[in-house]
Amino acid sequence: MLMDSPLGGIRVEALAADQAEQAIELARRLGLVDSGEAGFALQLTAHGLQLVELGPKAPGPIRVDFVEGAVAHRRAFGGGSGQMIAKAIGVAPGIRPSVLDATAGFGRDAFVLACLGCDVTLCERHPVIAALLVDGLVRARQVPDVAAVMARMVFMEGDAIQVMGDWKGEPPQVIHLDPMFPHRDKSALVKKEMRLFRPLVGDDQDAPLLLEAALDLASHRVVVKRARKAPCIEGPKPGYSLDGKSSRYDIYPRKRLGA
């Protein structure tokens, strides 16, 4: 069951006999077809859905996990409202903005913001990444320790530009964008994820349109994550930026966030 990709496709695998029907249904829902050579496998396991690159020197599988591992460590020891993303979003005493994470990916930034008390809507357009994200959200909602955090996270699958254009109801106060760019973070985790992400997702060539749609919708500010030395997204210039070691946040303020 394969999906076209630069590395030859994605194969759906059930690692247990009782998951065979689930694998068939997942392949049907994602539009995967039985043809060609697979470069990746989307695997159903007892611990959740995972994506793995195939080949002798490929890294291990990637799975969305909001309960254990790096995300859990960041939740416990990440620095709270002192984190750079929290400052960029506008988290402050008495201020917890509503956020649309329009390029949610594996949901790590959204989870950090939800841990800090923000209501976060996650949007992801790539169907395989979305499937992994939804699987992680479903599993985490069954864990009492993070249930309250997960209740602040709502998922919407679809192209963010269209989602924002069709938005109904109260607009998000803040929209967070993290378009694909050449990451310079040297951690093994980021390198491993980028090796899987980039062939599947590619660069976000429509980033200027994404920014335009976000500026049209957000009521208070748009926040764009970029590589520290990368140019701003084509379009209006940010009001100011917050710089970190390997990345920065470009801030497009619209009006002041209040308690």
Q: What count of other Cβ atoms lies within 10 Å of the Cβ of residue 159?
A: 16
Select, from the ranges 64-68, 135-139, 191-195, the one with the highest average predicted confidence (pLDDT). 135-139
pLDDT for the residue numbered 7: 37
Give tens-digit pLDDT for 107-154.
999 999 999 999 999 999 989 999 999 999 999 999 999 999 999 999
108 carries a ligand binding annotation: yes
State the Cα–Cα distance between residues 1 and 228, nearest whole angstrom: 39
256 labelled ligand-binding: no
Q: What are the tokens at 192?
A: 């491993």
CB 129 within 8 A of CB 150: no
Residues 6+ apart with CB under 8 A from 158: 123, 125
Would you say the pTM of this structure is higher than 0.85?
yes
Q: Tens digits of per-residue pLDDT, 78-117?
A: 667 889 999 999 999 999 999 999 999 999 999 999 999 9
pLDDT at residue 195 in the model:
60
Looking at per-residue confidence, does 122 or 202 come out higher? 122
| 69-253: CATH number | 3.40.50.150
59 pLDDT tier (thresholds 50, 70, 90): confident
Mean pLDDT of 218-241: 95
What is the amino acid identity at position 251? I
206 is in an annotated binding site: no
Please check if 250 is assigned to a binding site: no
Please check the confidence at residue 40 and state whether its pLDDT lies above 70: yes
User: Would you say 125 is a known binding-site residue?
Assistant: yes
DSSP H or E segment with residue 24: helix 20-30
Q: Phi, psi (5° rounding) for residue 222? A: -115, 135
CA-CA-CA-CA torsion sign (213, 230, 86, 66):
positive
What 3-state DSSP class applies to 55? coil
* pLDDT, mean over the chain: 86
Site of tokens 């649309």: 100
Looking at the chain, which residues constitute the CATH 3.40.50.150 domain(s)? 69-253
Sequence-distant (≥ 6) Cβ neighbours of residue 21 within 8 angstroms: none
